[in-house]
Amino acid sequence: MDRPADASRILESTDIGSQKDRVVTEEEWLQKWEMGNTGFHKEQGHPLLQKYLDVLLSGRSGLRIFFPLCGKAVEMKWLADMGHTVVGVEVSEQALKEFFSEHSLPYCEEPVPEISGAKKLQSTSGNISLYCCSIYDLSSSIVGKFDGVWDRGALVAVNPCDRQRYVSLMITLMEKNSSYLLVTVSYDPNKHKGPPFYVPESEIKSLFRDCCEIKCLQKVDDFSEKHRQWGLDYFLEVLYILKFVA
């Protein structure tokens, strides 16, 4: 297998290739959950969140933490068990119900009056609230503002044409002095159409630099047989911390 000796040294391209016109519909995401085509879900949680949790929390307790496009991320229960309040949003009701079922968490459902057809699934303990709707239907008047965000699999799943819209929304949901842990992926976008989509560092800076400090914390070689089958010869996960300054 021809792979770079040190994938972490690969220079990132600013060209996202043909991906800029790629659109994945809501129906396609729902079908992935229905068919069990959810290789993006990590059963044991994400090691980068475990490693850099202190960077996200900054010594604070009782935070409100947002999980955009949350799926059934196990880290939601992990953080709730630490005493934080977790809010997520996901279009797949199946994913949300599987989250509660797999963790044996009782919950109740209620409509969201401001969003037609939306539901909120909330743990009976009240510390996990998951909205079943499009993320673009949310606003701070509905979900409040957040002290922290764990964005793994969200920005890289958003259609490239919608990135500015997504980031503009996320900025409105952030408290001053909040922290945003962001995981992107790096690979040759001319060899794979996505998702997950390639988001170059230059674009992260362009999207967020007006409102926060941005630092790349780590690049991890995450190449696997799946990526080889996609036609790739390298695949990195790239972790950033974004600090929303007062």
Query: Which residues fall in the annotated binding site for S-adenosyl-L-methionine?
Result: 29-40, 69, 90, 134-135, 152
CA distance 98 to 102: 6
CB 194 within 8 A of CB 19: yes
Binding-site residues, in ranges, read: 29-40, 69, 90, 134-135, 152
Helix/strand/coil percent split, the chain, to 5: 30, 25, 40
| CA dist., res. 129 & res. 16, Å (int) | 35
Helix axes 26-35, 93-102, angle to 10 degrees: 40
For residues 88 and 67, the answer to whether their CB atoms sit within 8 Å is: yes
Distance CA 213, CA 8 (A): 22
Dist. CA 198–CA 186, nearest whole Å: 5
CB-based burial label for 120 (10 Å; 0-12, 13-18, 19+)? buried
> Do 88 and 66 form a contact (C-beta atoms < 8 A)?
yes
Tokens of 202: 């230059």
227: phi > 0 → left, psi -120 to 50 → alpha, else beta; which?
alpha
Distance, CA of 85 to chain centre: 17
